[in-house]
Amino acid sequence: MNLSEVIESTNTCRFYQKKPVTDDDIAVTLDAARFGPSGGNRQPVSLVIVKDHEVKKQMQALYLPFWETYIQAIDEGMVRLGSKDKGIVDSADHFARHLAEIPVFIVVCAQLADCHATDTDLDRLSIVGGASIYPAVQNVLLKARSIGLGTALTTLLCLVEPEIKKLLNIPEDISTAAMITMGWPTKKFPKKLLRRPLSEIAWAETYGAPLSTGTITKK
């Protein structure tokens, strides 16, 4: 597969086979995280791999209450989704209720002191620190896709960070940033994800000014 094919078909996988993922495949996938860019090359990201079923069950028990609150908010129109397809919510609900059955959990951790967030004094949510974390995460997702593994990225368990840190023996000065689930998918990967066209997200010189994108706007 070429890079464009990998990028355009790395979807959120919520249905997994019970087939285990080998340690070699896990290592190959995780190795890609090392090459994600970070501020000052501080490399704040670390990863905890969870395969133990009993531990995964405990993590699912922590996940479900927040998922149930979230799905209720969706039903009540309090949470906006990028798609009106009810199948997305149904598949996410299946994912939550079968979470512990997924072969591999990857808990993404970060040393926040090394994230160099430069926007903490602005009157808004700080987002810059994530630039030193989530490129590594995306590398893992893309590498997994390139060898046929499905993944899903979730941040709900960050809401119970103290419990997760205790369960996984994560040091006090390390924070949790996300969790990736990984395994062999039961469904085929899409040929190309449905996304907003480039003409709706990229501007020329000033925000809102049309960008000349040639034929790519039609893809």
Give the pLDDT of residue 70: 86
Give the pLDDT of residue 84: 60
Give the pLDDT of residue 9: 98
> In the structure encoding, which two tokens stand for residue 17, read together?
């086979």
Q: What count of other Cβ atoms lies within 10 Å of the Cβ of residue 91?
A: 17
DSSP 8-state symbol, 124:
S
Look over the chain and give the mean of its residue pLDDT values, rounded to a whole number. Answer: 93
pLDDT band at 87 (very low <50, low <70, confident <90, very high): confident
Instruction: Give me the percent of the chain exceeding a pLDDT of 90.
Output: 86
Kindly give the interhelix angle for 53-75 and 86-97, rounded to the nearest 10 degrees. Answer: 150
Distant-in-sequence, close-in-space partners of 213: CB < 8 Å, separation ≥ 6 = 198, 199, 202
Q: Which domains does the chain have, with CATH numbers?
A: 3-193 (3.40.109.10)
Give the pLDDT of residue 116: 87
Backbone angles phi, psi at 57, to 5 degrees: -65, -40
Give the pLDDT of residue 42: 95
The alpha helices in the chain, defined as continuous H runs, are 3-9, 23-31, 53-75, 86-97, 134-146, 161-168
The closest of 104, 107, 71, 112 to 90, measured between CA atoms, is 71
Furthest-apart CA atoms within the chain: distance in Å: 54
**Higher per-residue pLDDT: 217 or 76:** 76
C-alpha triplet 176, 178, 183: angle, nearest 5°: 130
Average pLDDT over residues 125-129: 95
Per residue in 15-33, pLDDT (tens digit) is: 999 999 999 999 999 999 9
**Higher per-residue pLDDT: 78 or 84:** 78
Per residue in 143-194, pLDDT (tens digit) is: 999 999 999 999 999 999 999 999 999 999 999 999 999 999 999 999 999 9
Q: What count of other Cβ atoms lies within 10 Å of the Cβ of residue 39?
A: 16
Tell whether the model's pLDDT for residue 82 goes beyond 70: no
Give the pLDDT of residue 219: 52
Give the pLDDT of residue 22: 98
- Side chain identity at residue 114, one-letter code: D
The DSSP line for 162-206 is HHHHHHHT--TT-EEEEEEEEE-BSSPPPSS-----GGGT--SSS
**Higher per-residue pLDDT: 60 or 116:** 60
The SS3 call for residue 126 is coil
Backbone angles phi, psi at 24, to 5 degrees: -65, -45
Per residue in 29-74, pLDDT (tens digit) is: 999 999 999 999 999 999 999 999 999 999 999 999 999 998 888 8
- Rounded to whole angstroms, how far apart are CA atoms 132 and 29? 19
Average pLDDT over residues 66-86: 79
